[in-house]
Amino acid sequence: MSGKDSQHRLVKVFCGNLWQAQIIQGLLEANHIACMLENDTLSAVTSPYATLGGEVFVLVDSRDRESAEKLISTNSLSSVPYN
């Protein structure tokens, strides 16, 4: 992997249940930060059972990490840490 490619990796900025992750996703997208959701056990895109439980991660480009984390924390949505 070249140095340029490593700058465009996805990083986790939030972890919680599906509805919490969707709120975070809406907040980030409303502030022009592209993001995606990922389930810890199954892909929400490929499985109808992915939302039955487990953690859902919000991922952003590593270049947007600081901005995303600041938005999440300033909007009191950081009660569920991603670690």
**Is a pLDDT exceeding 60 seen at residue 6?**
no
In the chain, where the domains are located: 8-74
- Tell me the mean pLDDT in the region 9-38: 95
The answer on pLDDT for 29 being more than 90 is yes
- pTM (2 decimals)? 0.72
Q: Average the pLDDT over 21-48 and give the result.
A: 82
pLDDT at 18 over 70: yes
Please tell me the CATH code under which domain 8-74 is placed: 3.30.70
The full DSSP string for 10-47 is EEEEEEE-HHHHHHHHHHHHHTT--EEEEESSS-TTT-
CA atoms within 13 A on the CB side of 68: 26
> What's the pLDDT tens digit per position in 40-77?
665 545 555 555 567 899 999 999 999 999 999 998 65
